Structure formats: C-alpha cells, structure tokens
Amino acid sequence: MFNSRGMFDALGMPETMALTRLAISRSRTAAIVLLGIIVIGCSIVLAIHQTLAPTTEAEDLARYSAVIIAWTFLPAGIASLVLFDFSSGNSVNLPESNCSHFVLRMPIRSWKIAVVPLLLKTAWISMVWCLGSGLVRHFVGATPPIVIPCFAFSAVAMWLMAIAWRPFKFAWTRFIWIALAAVVSYAFLLLYFAAPTMPAVGWRPLAIWSSAAFAVINWGVAMVAAVMSIEKARTSAEGITSTGMFERGIFHRTAALSNSTQQAITTERQIEVPVRTFASPVAAIAWFELTSTRDYWLRTLLVGTLPLVLILTLATPFHAAWVAMALISFAVLAGISVSVAGESPSAKLPPILVRSPVSDAAIAWTRAAVSMSMAACMFAFILLAFAGWAIWPSNREIWIQWSQEIARQLDAPAQAINIGLAISLMIVIGFTTVAASFAGGLSWAGSTGRDWVAIPLAFACGIGFLVPIGIISLWLAHQSDWESARASLVALSRFIRPAIIALLVTKLIVATGISIKLRKLDLARPRSICTVWIGWVIVSIGIGGPLAFINPFAIIESWHWVSMTACLIPLGGILMLPLSAYWNRHR
C-alpha cells in the first residue's frame, strides 16, 4: 500500500503543513493587500480621533468611526468567501468538483484536504471580526458579540466551499444549495443580533441560546459536509472528470484525459457538441464574457448582495452613515461580481481570445462593456435596500425630518419633500457616477496583464480620490454654523470655472493624443473612435442634464453639473483599452 506520510516525511514536511503552505501561498497577495487596507483604515480612525475629538460631538465622532471601520473591514470579510481555497479556477457552473484536481489526486487523506482551508478561513474571519469588534468597542462605544458571529460567518464561507467542491449531476442545483445555506445561516445570525431587543421578553433567552447553538452546530455540519464533498469528488463519476455537458455554455469539457480515453468516450457516447452561431465577432465575445462571468455574478448575488439587502432592511435604521455604508458595500460587491471570473480574468486574456482573428479594440471594448453592464445590474439591487428602508414608518419619519432641515437651510421650507427627493437622487446618481467612472477609467490598467502597472495606479488613484474627501470632511467638521460655511463656499465658487475648464482641456488633449495613437497603430477604425467620443458626450449630457434640472443649490449653475460630469466620465481610459489589450496580447 502506498504510504503518503512516508512520501511527505521524505520531503521533510508533514502533510498538514504542506496543505497549509499551499493554501496560504494561493491567497498570499490578496491577504497582504487586505491587511494593508485594514492598517490604513485603523490609522485613519486614530487620526480622526486625534484631530476631531476636541471640536466634534462624541456622538458624531462615534458615527464617523463606525462608518470608517465598516469600510475598512468589509473587503476582508467578503474576501473570506474565496481566500485559502483549493479552487480549481474552473467555472462552478460545471457538474465536476471545483476543488483543485492536483490536490484531489494527491495521496493525502480527504479530511486533511477539507479541514486545513476551513480552519484557515475560520482563523481569518475570527481575526477580522475580533479586531473590528475591538475597534468598535473602543471608538464607537458599542458592544458587538464576539464568538457567535465568528462561527456564523465562518459557516457561510465553509458551506460555500463545501458545495463548490461537491460534484453535481446538474450544476444549477449547486446554486440552489448555496442560496439555501446562506439564507438560513444569515437568518439565524440576524435572530441572534435581534434577540436582546425582542418585544417578547420571555422569548429572548430561547432565541439567544437557540441561535447561538445553531451557529456552532452549523459550523460543525459544514465541516463534515466539506469532508464528504472531497470523498465524493474523488470517487464520483462527476468528480474530477465531468461527464455532463456545460449547460447553456459554449464548450464541452472532458477534463484532462488522454487522447485515447477521449476518443473512446466520444466513440462510445457519440456526444454532439452544441454550436452557437453569432452575427458578429462582437456578439460572440460578449456571449463568451457573459458565460465566463455569470456563475461568479450569481454566487455574489446569492451569498453577498441579497443577504446584505436583508441585513440593511431588517437590522439597521435609516441613517446617513448606513446609507453611505450601503453605497460602498454594493459598489464593492458589484466590482467583485465581475472581477473574479475564473475563466477570463481581466488581467489575463483567455487563450481563445489571444488566438482569435478579432481586433484588439473589439476584444477590449466588448469585454469592458459586458463587465460594466453586469456590475451595474448588481449595484442596482441597492434599490431593494432603499425600498426595504421605506417600508418602516420610523425610517420615513427620519427622512422627512432630514428633508425639512435641508429645506430650512435653503430657505425653502415649503418644498421640503421635493428638495429631499432631489438631494437623495443627486447623492445616489453622483456616487454611482463617481464609482463607475473610477472603475471604467482604470480598467485599461488591469487589461495590460501587468500587476506592476495596475496595483500602483489603483493605489495612487485611490489616495488621490480619498485625500480631497478627507480634506472636505475635516473642513465641514470644523464649521460651527451653516451661514459661515455657506459664505466660505460662495467665496470658493469663483475658482470653480477655471478649475473645470482646466480639467476639461487636459482631458480632451489626452484623449486626442490616445486617439491619434490608435489610428497610427491601426488598432481601431475612425468610426469606432468617433463612436466612443459621441458616447462620452451623450452620457455626460444624459447624467449632468437631470442633475442640473433637479439642482436645489443656487450657487451651483446648470453648466457646472454637465461639465463636472464630463470631467468624471472616462474618455481617455476607454480609448486606452485597445492599447492595453494590444500590449497584453502581443507580448
């Protein structure tokens, strides 16, 4: 009998240690980046308390700290769903197991393959939650629970991995099980959080203890399910080798079999591979990108977006801090849903596209359009959160009071509802425009296929975006009354015109230079370049026009909105996409 322990001992490394190092090495870069974000966020919280504590009310300071802490730890919490996983990188929309076939073929016991990444996930989630809870206790004054949320969130990540590892005869049933596990786990976690304030006092102990017991039991059951998934993946016909068809897909997959085995299977079963025809290469690329991304999009929707809608609707009050938290969270989920596509990551062109006789411009612009469209659909689910908030009378009363306060400051108390609706729309549209412009304008950096270009540029742009916001926030925090703040804004308004003109001129010069370069290299036709320019003008007017129409602020003129929108909407970044694809494709 083959002795796996002897093989690893001969290499000087126990099996458990080898699996641990493998799991950490696969997620090392992402974990370091997330830890860097946590360090930066904690530093910002400390700096805010040092600078604003003497001049800011304790309640407002605690609210600012809570929002920053949430923004800081949210990416690390969401990433825990995919960190330290032995994923094969293939689509979860396939019947076969999503666990790495290299790991499945290793002579290691199944329980070790399952337990090592699950314990690493639990340790990561516990570290993130405990550190975040400690900051909340110290700077916010709240007392969030420690132990049970660690078990609950870890169980969701473990169920996701266990279900992804398990082979299914019909792949669509995997998504049903993922949704069921996420909804049930999050529901009991919400019960645990809400139990101390339940109206029925007599039921509080039962709700607390039952939800706590469920979290621990759910964690253990998820561990057992993961071990069973590994066993089934190693022994089932749909385990390492898929014997099913890629449902509604482009390709038939027969895994990594030898040529003789593939010929034998094809001869015996006479499998007919479905062929889909398209009217144009653009339509084919769009369909390829959609099918490569949709399973990750659906998984993000089921595990992240829909539970977030329920949490915001049922467990949080309507408040400016929570609205900001919702906007940031849905933007992050929208980015995740299209950035982790295992079969066509943005930084590496799939081999089928590298070899295809399609122009670089068609590949780059089509992929970007599909990704942005799917991200926009994911972000649109924030409307469900707003609708859920509006159901509660207390939330509607809070919004009406806020609208009346703003209307009084604008000397128009009779138009409180209209002004409240206008400013609410401006906040949502403005944030969406900024987030989409930031992502679209930097998409060319990821398309280069070079991390040394994408990562530093993303950090530099992030710092350049956050520094002005921080300066404005500090300035607003130090204002003692609305009249003096408005007078200062009026004094600064004379710099708006030259600043906007300078930004627009710079933007047009850069975009013109990129357009000339595209024509010089023959990467795009003049018609395509003109289409991008015309689309930029239409989008700028289509967003800036409604903002100017509903604008309730007298000091901001209508042309300011259109011109500022034109400055935000990416033009040079979109035109750069064919150049970056050319650089990535023809190495």
Domain ranges of the chain: 1-232
Sorting pLDDT into bands at 50, 70 and 90, what band is 579?
confident
Task: Identify the band that residue 587 occupies on the pLDDT scale cut at 50, 70 and 90.
Answer: low
Closest CA to 397 of 422, 423, 425, 416: 416
Q: What letter represents residue 547's amino acid?
A: L
Task: For residues 381-403, give the mean pLDDT.
Answer: 88
| Residue 390 pLDDT > 80 | yes
- At 282-335, the pLDDT tens digits run 788 888 888 877 777 887 887 778 888 888 887 777 877 778 778 888 887 887
Share of the chain above pLDDT 70, in %: 78
Q: Output the pLDDT for position 354.
A: 66
Please give the average per-residue pLDDT across 253-270, as a whole number. Answer: 40
Q: What is the pLDDT of residue 512?
A: 93
Give the DSSP letter string of 277-318: --SSHHHHHHHHHHHHHHHHHHHHIIIIIHHHHHHHHHH---
Q: Where does the pLDDT of residue 270 fall: very low under 50, low under 70, confident under 90, or very high at 90 and above? A: very low
Q: What is the DSSP letter of 339?
A: H
**pLDDT, tens digit (0-9, with 9 covering 90-100), for 411-436:** 887 888 888 888 888 888 888 888 88
What phi, psi does 290 have (nearest 5°)?
A: -65, -45
pLDDT tens by residue, 128-144: 999 988 888 888 888 88
**pLDDT at residue 9, rounded to an integer:** 46
Lowest mean pLDDT among 241-245, 363-367, 406-410: 241-245
Q: In whole angstroms, what is the distance from residue 584 CA to residue 587 CA?
A: 6
Position 537 confidence tier, pLDDT thresholds 50, 70, 90: very high
**Across 57-61, 115-119, 350-354, least confident range:** 350-354
Mean pLDDT in residue range 444-456: 70
Tens of pLDDT, residues 153-201: 999 888 888 888 888 777 677 778 888 888 888 888 888 888 877 777 7
> Rg for the chain (alpha carbons), in Å?
27
Instruction: Decide if pLDDT at 342 tops 60.
Output: no
pLDDT for position 267: 42
Q: Provide mean pLDDT across the span 244-254.
A: 37
Q: What is the pLDDT of residues 77-123, one digit of tens each?
A: 878 877 888 876 665 666 777 788 788 888 888 888 888 888 999 99
Q: Which of 551, 515, 288, 536 is nearest to 412 (CA)?
A: 551
Confidence of residue 221 (pLDDT cuts 50, 70, 90): very high
Give the model's pLDDT for residue 372: 86
- Say what the pTM is: 0.61
Name the DSSP letter for residue 319: -
